[in-house]
């Protein structure tokens, strides 16, 4: 189902024109589930403004893999998922089967599933896997060259003085598997995180974070070293979380498809608990 916009309008209105028989409740659900695309890019914000000439399309019903893993997109080359909080990305010494990778391997067997990048166990959000060796190799190149758009939302302790800025350091992992900052370029790898404060309360700030590089625990370390550890991040000084989880969510992943050259963009709505804790714009 497709529709070409005849003039600028909100996404909800464009979706209504695309499917005039559908109720607004259904349209809203389709958008939230990631079924509606604008020029082949998934958009999940009902307030999104669609321009004249842009194509609105409705994708198939959302599917899930075992473990509550939402499939945001799949083709013969790659699959994009929405990882739940608390689920390992890949197997570890203490867990082999309850992982995103294991569940996807079960879903796509006998095909192989290749791990392109990882999210920490307690981080939720958008994650990408390859389904062919060619796609895997090309996607890894994108990550190495940092030609990937990766944005996160975090709830951190305290109120930042600067409302936007950049954290830049070299990071290394010590013998206890704790990542640390260093000024020694020979000891660590360059890590760059851009941040913007989207709201705050007396106790917490809500940050929108854009990764220029993608090191292990990069955001968590940068927040902690700046004096604003992520709520619930016990490993890096965040203490107990008021919502009983690490307050870090991978909300956006954008890249050029390695085979088709199409621009791909996927978003995962922030957990509602984040919104209740620190709404956007709260001052």
Q: Which of 40, 61, 82 is the last residue of a domain?
A: 61
Residue 83 lies in a domain: no
* Cα separation of the two ends of the chain: 42
Question: Cβ of 62: how many Cβ atoms within 10 Å?
Answer: 15
Residue 257 lies in a domain: no
Q: Answer with the residue of higher pLDDT: 31 or 195.
A: 195
Residue 92 lies in a domain: no
Residue 82: active-site member: no
Nearest CA-CA partner of 262 in 96, 6, 39, 110:
39
Residue 46 lies in a domain: yes
Position 283 pLDDT exceeds 70? no
Q: 71 forms bridges with which residues in the sheet?
A: 63, 81
**How many domains is the chain built from?**
2
Q: Which of 36, 61, 86 is the last residue of a domain?
A: 61
Residue 77 lies in a domain: no
Please report, for the domain that includes residue 22, its CATH number. 3.10.290.10
Residue 51 lies in a domain: yes
8, 39, 120, 208: which is the annotated catalytic residue?
120
Position 77 pLDDT exceeds 70? yes
Residue 163 lies in a domain: yes
Q: The domain containing residue 12 runs over which residues?
A: 1-61
pTM of the model: 0.81
- In the predicted model, what is the mean pLDDT of residues 95-103? 92
**Residue 250: band (very low, low, confident or very high) from pLDDT cuts 50, 70, 90:** very high
* pLDDT per residue as tens digits for the range 181-203: 998 899 999 999 999 999 999 99
Question: Cβ of 76: how many Cβ atoms within 10 Å?
Answer: 10
């Amino acid at each position: 189902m497709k529709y070409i916009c005849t003039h600028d309008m909100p996404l909800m209105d464009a979706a209504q024109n695309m499917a005039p028989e559908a109720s607004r409740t259904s349209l809203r659900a389709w958008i939230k589930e990631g079924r509606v695309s604008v020029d082949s890019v998934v958009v999940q914000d009902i307030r999104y403004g669609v321009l004249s000439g842009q194509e609105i399309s409705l994708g198939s019903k959302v599917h899930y893999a075992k473990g509550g893993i939402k499939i945001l997109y799949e083709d013969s080359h790659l699959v994009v998922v929405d990882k739940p909080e608390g689920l390992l990305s890949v197997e570890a010494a203490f867990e082999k089967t309850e992982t995103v990778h294991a569940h996807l391997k079960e879903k796509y067997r006998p095909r192989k599933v290749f791990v392109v990048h990882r999210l920490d166990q307690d981080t939720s959000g958008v994650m990408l896997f390859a389904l062919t060796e060619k796609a895997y190799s090309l996607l890894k190149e994108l990550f190495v060259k940092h030609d990937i758009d990766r944005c996160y939302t975090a709830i951190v302790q305290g109120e930042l003085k600067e409302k936007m800025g950049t954290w830049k350091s070299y990071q290394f992992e010590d013998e206890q598997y704790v990542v640390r900052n260093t000024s020694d370029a020979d000891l660590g790898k360059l890590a760059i995180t851009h941040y913007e404060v989207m709201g705050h309360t007396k106790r917490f700030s809500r940050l929108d974070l854009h990764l220029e590089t993608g090191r292990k625990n990069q955001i968590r370390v940068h927040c902690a070293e700046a004096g604003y550890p992520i709520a619930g991040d016990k490993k890096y000084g965040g203490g107990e979380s008021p919502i009983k989880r690490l307050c870090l969510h991978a909300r956006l992943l954008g890249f050029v498809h390695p085979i088709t050259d199409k621009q791909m963009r996927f978003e995962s709505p922030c957990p509602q608990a984040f919104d209740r804790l620190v709404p956007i714009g709260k001052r």
